[in-house]
């Protein structure tokens, strides 16, 4: 009842804190992780279990709540666990019963609709997007993947094929160039430009050390990007 765990989104790690710690005591990083965790005490034992998701697999690992560190090796419990942003879709009770939702429940089928609202055609395999941005020519859609492989993805709509643009989280979406060959997106470290058909990677346009940046529009002449920041 004196310690607590939380996930820091910026560095992406699990941190242990104490209600009795001095205000200037730095938090203790336990492990690198993207999604939330759950601690389960074990009756009659000073060591409980820490449950966490890594690469869509749910693990349980002995954890000492006094020393705030692991006390054994991790054991896989289930695979194909659903996740969304910083949440992992599982919960465990104090009697050891576990419930979870699979990653399949995250998936949606991209479908073209006409102007009267009638479904015209399905596109590609089901995906798990955090957002969707269609290119100006209607031939591509960029989306952030909520399941592995995480990052920014691009789908060729006529072919229904996917390609990975990068492994950066970009939950605030992207904007397309007028010719549909480039995208600009905001990562955790700033604004980036990516040329879709180039192997050179991405270019940093605007470094940003704040906590939030979002891109909103790209002028048709290619000269200006509209974006917002929150400090």
pLDDT reported for residue 10: 66
pLDDT reported for residue 171: 61
DSSP character for 128? -
pLDDT reported for residue 11: 66
The answer for residues whose C-beta is within 8 angstroms of residue 45's C-beta and 6 or more apart is none
Percent of the chain scoring above 70 in pLDDT:
92
Give the residues across from 218 on adjacent strands: 225
**Distance between CA 231 and CA 211 in Å, rounded?**
6
Residues 198-220 pLDDT 10s: 666 788 999 987 677 889 999 99
Q: Can you give the pTM of this predicted structure?
A: 0.59
The pLDDT confidence band at residue 170, using thresholds 50, 70 and 90, is low
Residue 47 phi, psi (nearest 5): -110, 130
> Is a pLDDT exceeding 60 seen at residue 169?
no
**Distance between CA 216 and CA 231 in Å, rounded?**
17
Q: What is the mean pLDDT of residues 119-136?
A: 89
pLDDT reported for residue 224: 96
> Is a pLDDT exceeding 70 seen at residue 52?
yes
> Is a pLDDT exceeding 80 seen at residue 125?
yes
Neighbours of 10 (CB within 10 A): 8
Three-state SS at 122: strand
Three-state SS at 201: coil
pLDDT reported for residue 55: 81
pLDDT reported for residue 74: 95
Contact by Cβ (8 Å): 149, 164:
yes
> Is a pLDDT exceeding 60 seen at residue 19?
yes
More confident of the two residues 117 and 148: 117
pLDDT reported for residue 157: 92
**Distance between CA 202 and CA 197 in Å, rounded?**
11
**Distance between CA 135 and CA 118 in Å, rounded?**
22
Residues 175-201 pLDDT 10s: 999 999 999 998 778 899 988 876 667
Contact by Cβ (8 Å): 16, 27:
yes
Percent of the chain scoring above 90 in pLDDT:
39
The pLDDT confidence band at residue 151, using thresholds 50, 70 and 90, is confident
Nearest to 144 by CA among 110, 167, 111, 112: 167
């Amino acid at each position: 009842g004196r310690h607590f765990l939380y996930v820091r989104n910026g560095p992406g790690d699990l941190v242990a804190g104490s209600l009795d710690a001095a205000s200037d005591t730095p938090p203790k990083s336990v492990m690198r992780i993207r999604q939330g965790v759950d601690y389960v005490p074990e009756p009659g034992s000073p060591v409980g279990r820490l449950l966490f998701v890594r690469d869509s697999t749910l693990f349980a690992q002995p954890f000492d709540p006094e020393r705030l560190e692991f006390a054994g090796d991790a054991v896989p419990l289930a695979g194909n666990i659903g996740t969304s942003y910083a949440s992992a879709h599982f919960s465990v009770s104090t009697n050891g019963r576990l419930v979870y939702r699979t990653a399949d429940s995250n998936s949606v089928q991209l479908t073209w609709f006409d102007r009267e609202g009638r479904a015209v055609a399905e596109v590609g395999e089901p995906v798990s997007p955090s957002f969707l941005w269609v290119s100006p020519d209607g031939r591509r859609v960029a989306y952030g993947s909520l399941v592995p492989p995480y990052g920014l993805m691009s789908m060729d709509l006529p072919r229904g094929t996917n390609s990975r643009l990068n492994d950066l989280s970009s939950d605030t979406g992207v904007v397309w160039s007028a010719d549909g060959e480039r995208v600009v997106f905001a990562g955790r470290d700033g604004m980036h430009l990516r040329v879709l058909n180039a192997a050179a990677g991405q270019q940093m346009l605007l470094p940003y050390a704040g906590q939030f940046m979002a891109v909103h529009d790209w002028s048709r002449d290619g000269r200006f990007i509209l974006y917002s920041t929150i400090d």
